Amino acid sequence: MTQLADLARVMRSKNAGPTLLTIDVLFAETAQLDWALPALSSSRISSLYGIEAENIRIIPYRPAMAIKIVMPRKLIAGDPGDRDVYGAQQHAPLLGIEV
């Protein structure tokens, strides 16, 4: 087993408007995407982020060797208590996922 951080070439997160968050996971080879995809289930991401699995979309895009994850933010961007206004640090819980 290996960690997703060791397999992915790029992992990044950002806001998709004030209420949604996107996480991009990009790979150097399609085989790496195929290996990682089963580990990125809605239920697993749900347990990491505390968001209901039915509100999480996982979108593999093979031509770009990428997986996009879309989910609602817990707080609207910029609300009091929001410590990551741009959503740029939200990919961190995925780094240690075993694939």
**pLDDT tens figures, 66-97:** 999 999 999 999 999 999 999 999 999 999 99
Helix then strand then coil, % of the chain, to nearest 5: 30, 25, 40
β-bridge mates for residue 17, sequence order: none
**How is domain 4-75 classified at the CATH fold level?**
Alpha-Beta Plaits (3.30.70)
Domain residue extents for the chain: 4-75
**pLDDT tens figures, 13-50:** 999 999 999 999 999 999 999 999 999 999 999 999 99
Q: Cα separations (Å) of 34 from 8, 31, 53, 98?
A: 12, 5, 21, 14
Q: How many CA atoms lie within 13 A of 24 on its CB side?
A: 15
